[in-house]
Structure 1
Amino acid sequence: MLRTATLSLILLATPCVAGEKVAFFGLTLLDESLQTQTAGADPAEAARLKKLDTLVRERFAAGGYDLVDLAPVQDRLDRVVNPAKCYGCEARMATDLGADYALVGEVQKVSNLILTMNLQLRDATSGETVKGRVVDIRGNTDDSWMRGMRYILKTAFFNGEEQ
């Protein structure tokens, strides 16, 4: 009996399981560096952001999650600068899409040396974060960006499992 009760508590404590629907609203680059003000947007960073987006999508799909199509809310999403900070609009859109969770993330560039990235899984009904991680990375390279996101996925979402 005690074993069954313990197992039930463990299952209740697991907020997200494979097979549930996730609305992934992509990643947003927040460039607060002085380099952008003088040189303009860096196409290499846009390409890195796209690679991270693909990595996240592929990892969640490989983990058994159902990534929902955002097309029905695309007009609303196009008006949002940063889905990770839109006062719950991501949770409302996820609910409208029939998703269990909204997945949002950011890469914040402080300089070419210091960047921070985060990924958060939020309950579509309450908007509360159920899983997430923030990591600081050093170096503005393809390798550092990918290594940072792989670490987030491995430690916060997939119990130490790498793809």
Structure 2
Amino acid sequence: MKTRLVLGLLAMMLPSGAAMAQGLVALRDGASLAFLGLTFIDTSTEGAYNPVRADETARLVMLQDLVQERFETEGFAMLDLAPVAPDLAPIKNPADCYGCELRIAAKLDADYVVVGEVQKVSNLILSMNLVMRDVATGEVVRARAVDIRSNTDDSWQRGMHYIFKTHFFVEG
């Protein structure tokens, strides 16, 4: 919960649009990236009473594939996580593990690490965030949180595309 609050505040403080493009840290061409995935957090009343929904599980996989493909398209060398699978196995949420994402990515000799979350507040309101850190310095080089309305494949994809467009891959 604390991570989402910090990310939300960070996202609100960042400028938007073309002005933001000039303030972003330049990413290294061909840099290696450890994408540790996205975590689904259901804090809705529905989630408190019902089991995990198959459609939401499928959406999370769809969104992870979307993130992976976009970073590959942008020229990042995506690292295989198999060597750190034992380190990742006990971790419930790599986006909220007191810096474990940096330690795990360092084992892979990654330049950057990316983690994210999708939080279901209700079946109408969801929040998603994506964070990219420089592994060597621990510095956050990209971070964005967005709230989306409706719980569909299309709304999840639109939310992630918005994160990409407004902060991760901004065209100046």
Fold match by TM threshold 0.5 = yes
SS in 2 for 1:84: coil
- Specify the alignment match of 1:107 in structure 2: 118
Based on CA coordinates, which of the two structures has the bigger radius of gyration? 1
TM-score by length of 2: 0.83
Contact 1:91–1:126 (8 Å) recurs in 2 = no
The within-5 A match list for 1:75-154 is 75-154=86-165
Higher relative contact order (Cα pairs below 8 Å, separated by 6+ residues):
2
Distance 1:27 1:130 in 2: 18
SS in 2 for 1:132: strand
- Aligned pair count? 152
Distance 1:45 1:54 in 2: 14
- Specify the alignment match of 1:14 in structure 2: 25
Contact 1:18–1:64 (8 Å) recurs in 2 = yes
RMSD value over aligned CA atoms? Answer: 1.9
SS in 2 for 1:125: coil
Q: Structure 2: state its 5+ residue gaps.
A: 1-20
TM-score by length of 1: 0.88
Distance 1:85 1:27 in 2: 11
SS in 1 for 2:83: helix
Query: Alignment identity in percent?
Result: 52
State the Cα deviation string for residues 106-139 of structure 1 (Å, max 9, x = none): 0011000111000000111232211011000011
